[in-house]
A and B are shown apart, each in its own frame.
Chain A
Amino acid sequence: MLDEGQVKAAFTEFTVNLPSIGSGQDKVVFRAEDGPDEFALKVMSWAIPDDEDLGDTSPTATTMERFDREMLAMRTVSCPHVATITHGPEVRSIGGKNHLWFGEPLLNGGTLASVRAGGRLTEGAVIDLARALFTAIAAMWGAGQLVHRDIKPRNIGYIDGRVVLTDFGAVLFTGLSPLTSPSIAGPGTQLYASPEQFAPRRNTTLDFRSDLFQVGIVLHEAITGVHPFHGRGSDYYAALTSYDPASLDGTDCPETLKTLVGRLLSERPAERFRSPELALQMLEDGL
């Protein structure tokens, strides 16, 4: 556990505001100020061992490799809807232990989870959200066949009204050996996972179409205010693999969005979209 007071003391060049504003599986997030500019200071909650020979397969080595890939993903992808690194990454001694840290733009408009607060978004906001997420997924796949794997409301934020996808801690580089199970990454992820994250398929790895499925869940929630699968009986996987597009009937959602969400939430990747650009094109053509 990080002592937040020690974090503030360790970053004398910034103003670190306490308490922290969020935490995930590996990171604690603080609102920090670098002169007039605010940013999100993200500090790894685990410390780097001092003298331990990590080896290639130790849990710490794997976690550090994950961190490196997260940084690499954020540097590799150039897209207005993908979070960038503003500071670091570096190692900082906090309370006598070495911790990795980096900075991201502060989500001054909050996360989708806080904006939605269990309710619905307006039609315009849903369309902006869909457009941004398809663009982000296209940028990630185009930059190196990266799969985010953890698209959910708390990893989607707003900076000056712009939708931004954040937290690449679970990112999959399809060209590299996997570091984590292909399935579930962090808190809350299970509710947004695709069928193939629960049941890996023969001769395939995850690809951008898993991210598209996650976007489908996010959009359904944004349109209706409720999760499309949660609470539909005791067999969650059965519900997950049998989305009924009619569940959007009765909403004032445009037909294009209904069709789009239905395609995104198809059980099989082959029934979604061959590319994120095609999903974006369907959205734009229908508006």
Chain B
Amino acid sequence: MFYVQHGYGKARKVDEVIGDGHVSGVILSPGHEDASTLEVTARTYIDAGLDVLVDPQSYIYTTKPQGALRFHDRNGVNLSSMHWSESANSLLGHLSSVEGLAVRLGLRDRIIAPAPFNATLSDYWMPVGLQYARTASSQWRRSEVFASIAISQDALSDWATVQDWLDAATLLDVRGFYLVVSRPSGMYPPLPWDPRLLANLLRVIHTLSVINGFEVIWGYADVDGLLGLAAGAAGIASGWSYSLRQFSIDRYFQERSGGAQPIPRLLVPELLSDLRTTEIADIIEIAGGGGIGSLNPGSSGSMAELSNRDAQVGHLIELARLADEIGSAPLSSRLRIVRERVAQALSQLNDLGTQRITVEVRHVARLRSYADALELFARETTR
């Protein structure tokens, strides 16, 4: 299943992506959108028959310095007092505000519980996160609860510690887990993963979903999420902007300048890579499409002129199609499908190089990290 990670009011663009027929749901961000707009957004997607969830975004309040989002208060979500030594009243108050928002938006059936951010899985925030999920599952008896897991990628480095956490988390009486993994903020496309960390993340998804039967939704996952589907995730999410395509906790407390205008990019499904539209135009013009089926030989001119808005729509449509294709395959064959696609993408990028067409080298590095992580994952889960 593919979810649109929704930041703030771009409803018309979402409509275009939904219209392609491969989107299952939307994940809303109450910290990013004012109350009245959020209500309209939620209603629009509910009426469209989509599965609508709300990410409470509580994790931003447990970092140092504490993060901030403009619209939490206006949505009645009061989470800024989250503390590692939480009183029962305070914890219940936080849960009540999240439930209240879900009720107001008409989304009571399935609620994502709040949780702190975990820089590691061995510090004092770890049991606090479990406590929120456990209390939510006992308090929200009329709802199906998703526990939040918001972790740094570094929390995945020590597998024994991750296993300790899994031993505890798999006893939660919840329907599933909403997972976000913070990566170093920076340029887009994201930096390649350390294969060890990515393989461990896939093992977490596999343990939760395949072995224990929880429904796992990986937020802010973008193309990485396709590997999550191979590991057993039920859903992945990505959004318009680069900040909705990879999760980075830093962006919630770092001062940010406006930055440069985004470069229009399109996801080329055969390459599993988000190429600049100018690069795509070159491939079409110089190499006649480079043997890449989705590139129309006659479209180089229009490609170079593609607006950022249309490129964003195109990106999500292609990603949703890929997610649908992989996610609807039997679980037993998903891993093979994704490994073949990664190998094919690497091969085709290599072929482009022999035709003197160079794309950003980061794509190859990212795909190699995928291949290595998938190999580790396959080896360690089929013992």
A residues with CB within 8 A of B: 196, 201-204, 207, 263, 268-271, 273-274, 278
Residue pair A274, B170 in contact (C-beta under 8 Å): yes
Q: Please, how many angstroms separate the alpha-carbon atoms of A229 and B213 in the complex?
A: 29
- Is A274 a contact of B163 with CB atoms below 8 Å? no
Q: How far is the CA of A269 from the CA of B169 in the complex (A)?
A: 11
Q: Which residue of B lies closest to A267 (CB)?
A: B163
Flag if B170 contacts A204 (CB, 8 Å): no
Taking CB atoms, residues of chain B closer than 8 Å to A269 are: 167, 170
- For residue A173, give the distance in angstroms from its CB to the closest CB of chain B: 16
Q: Which B residues have a C-beta under 8 Å from some C-beta of A?
A: 122, 126-127, 130, 161, 163-171, 207, 211-214
- Cβ B167 vs Cβ A204 within 8 A: yes
In the complex, A201 Cα to B163 Cα: how many Å? 10
The distance in angstroms between the C-alpha atoms of A126 and B262, with both chains bound, is 64
Complexed CA–CA distance, A42 and B275 (Å) = 77
The answer to whether A204 touches B164, judged by C-beta atoms less than 8 angstroms apart, is yes
By beta carbon, the residue of chain B nearest A244 is B383
A268 to B122, CA, bound (A): 17
Contact of A271 among B130, B164, B211 (CB under 8 A): B211
Q: Is the CB of B212 within 8 A of A270?
A: yes
Closest 10 CB pairs of A and B: A270-B166, A274-B212, A270-B170, A202-B164, A269-B167, A270-B167, A204-B168, A268-B163, A201-B164, A204-B167
Residues of A within 8 A of B169 (CB): 270
Q: Looking at the assembled complex, report how far the CB atom of B320 sits from the nearest CB atom of chain A, in whole angstroms.
A: 30
B207 near A202 with CB under 8 A, answer no
Contact A203 B207 (CB under 8 A): no
- Nearest chain B residue, comparing its CB with the CB of A201: B164
Residue in A270, A274, A278 whose Cβ sees the most chain B Cβ within 10 Å:
A270
| Residue in contact with B127 in the complex, picked from A203, A268, A270, CB distance below 8 Å | A203
Cα–Cα, bound, A207→B207 (Å): 18
Q: Is the CB of A202 within 8 A of B170?
A: no
Cα A273 to Cα B207 with chains together (Å): 10
Chosen A-B contacts, 6 in total, with CB atoms closer than 8 Å, are A202-B164, A204-B164, A268-B163, A269-B170, A270-B211, A278-B213
Given the complex, which residues of A lie within 8 Å of B170, measured CB to CB?
269-270, 274
In the complex, which residues of chain B have a beta carbon less than 8 angstroms from the beta carbon of A270? Answer: 163, 166-167, 169-170, 207, 211-212
Residues in B neighbouring A274, C-beta threshold 8 A: 170-171, 211-214
- Residues of A within 8 Å of B130, CB to CB, are 203
Contacts A203-B126, A278-B213 known; A268 to B168 CB distance under 8 Å? no
Contact A202 B171, beta carbon cutoff 8 Å:
no
Q: How far is the CA of A274 from the CA of B212 in the complex (A)?
A: 5
Within the complex, which residue of B122, B171, B212, B214 is in contact with A207, where a contact is CB–CB below 8 Å?
B171
Q: Write the nearest CB–CB distance from B164 to chain A, whole angstroms.
A: 5
Given contacts A270-B212, A271-B207, A274-B212, contact A203 B163 (CB under 8 A): no
Shortest CB-to-CB span from B347 to chain A, Å, is 35
**Which partner residue on chain B sits nearest A145 by CB separation?**
B171
Closest B residue by C-beta to A208 = B171
- Least CB distance from A50 to B in Å reads 44
With the chains together, A269 CA to B126 CA distance in Å? 18
Q: Identify the interface centre among B126, B166, B168: most chain A CB within 10 Å of its CB.
A: B168
Q: From residue A140, how far is it (CB to closest CB) to chain B in Å?
A: 15
A113→B222 CA distance, assembly (Å) = 56
B171 nearest CB neighbor, chain A only: A207
* Nearest chain A CB to B215 CB, angstrom units: 13
A147 to chain B minimum Cβ distance, whole angstroms, is 12
* Chain A nearest CB, measured from B123 CB (Å): 11
A88 to B3 CA separation, bound complex (whole angstroms): 60
Chain A residues with CB under 8 A of B207: 270-271
Q: How far, in angstroms, from A273 to B171 measured CA to CA in the complex?
A: 10
